[in-house]
Amino acid sequence: MTASDDRSEFARRASEIIEEYPEWYHSIELAPGVVTPGRVSLDALNRTLQALELPDLRGKSVLDIGAYDGFFSFAAEKLGAARVVALDEHVWATDMTAYMREWREARASGTAMPAPRDSRHWRPSELPGRKPFDAAHRLLNSKVEPMVGNFMTMALAALGRFDVVFFFGILYHLEDPLAAIRRVGGLLNPGGFLGIETEAIEAPGAPDAPFFEFFPTNELHNDAANWWAPNARGIEALTKAIGLCDFKLCKGPPPLTPIRRLRATIARERFRYRAVAHAYAPFETRASFDTSRSRGAAQDDT
């Protein structure tokens, strides 16, 4: 078989995977010119990766929390990471093809849609939502280590510590973002890199202070699993609260002209966007990674 035949066979297998698994969130190039039909384009994913200003991943360990279809896990592997762990449960335990079909119907009709875990498509014993990841993993001959687990409830000792942690598209899904970011901080090696991508909000007329918009039901994208949208200062404050340093907002809100900003301030408008940021763990151990400031700790009466 010639090299050309090999490429043709590889492309054929990639096309078969897309035909078998039509529902993807990540656009992943399975073969030259053959890209999965992700809801987020390949260009957009690559821009997020570039915006992060990643350190050199060669020889590093990487944890991808909420790996979904695996774009960022596979990208870290390609960038030379020595070990990559892809962690998910929310998506992998859900029949995402059926769930997204129902979600689109619900959005069109204006009806509420339960979160995946509360829907009839939640099947944790079968892991139907992991099939696209597994298919891409096989075709790419990847060494990424898949791990099934709920990040907020699992024993973190099972994960260990990492040089780099990806926390993409997760923060706004969690009921307690401070507890979540504290758990993330506990997974970083000294000097470790944390990358964050999240739904965010910009309110030009609001005070220059950290704040979070709260969604009590399904106000954000008709998804009951969406709870929060922080502003940029809010994201930075979370990292500061657990002792991370060198925070940088890598991708902020879309720029506004002075006139547009003035109008937005007067009208008290809000703008939602996807924020990208990073921060680093200090090289020395700090007590601020523990839970001493957690809610309910002993306080003065004043």
Q: Which two tokens stand for residue 71?
A: 């774009």
2 within domain boundaries: no
Q: What is the pLDDT of residue 220?
A: 77
Strand order from edge to edge, sheet including 83-88: 145-148, 83-88, 61-65, 162-168, 188-202, 271-280, 245-251
For residue 155, count CB atoms less than 10 angstroms from its CB and return exposed for 0-12, middle for 13-18, buried for 19 or more: exposed
12 within domain boundaries: no
CA trace torsion 155, 159, 163, 167 (10° rounding):
-70
28 within domain boundaries: no
The residue type of 233 is R
How would you write the pLDDT of the chain (302 residues) with one tens digit per residue? 555 656 788 889 999 999 999 999 999 999 999 999 999 999 999 999 999 999 999 999 999 999 999 999 999 999 999 999 999 999 999 999 999 999 999 989 988 889 899 999 999 999 999 999 999 999 999 999 999 999 999 999 889 999 999 999 999 889 999 999 999 999 999 999 999 999 999 888 777 889 998 888 888 777 878 889 999 999 999 999 999 999 999 999 888 777 777 777 776 777 888 999 999 999 865 444 444 444 444 344 43
Q: What is the pLDDT of residue 8?
A: 82
300 within domain boundaries: no
107 within domain boundaries: yes
The total of structural domains in the chain comes to 1
The domain in which residue 250 lies consists of 45-289
82 within domain boundaries: yes
What is the C-alpha R_g of the chain?
A: 20
CATH of the domain at 218: 3.40.50.150
Q: Provide the β-strand partners of residue 40.
A: 26
Q: What is the pLDDT of residue 5?
A: 54
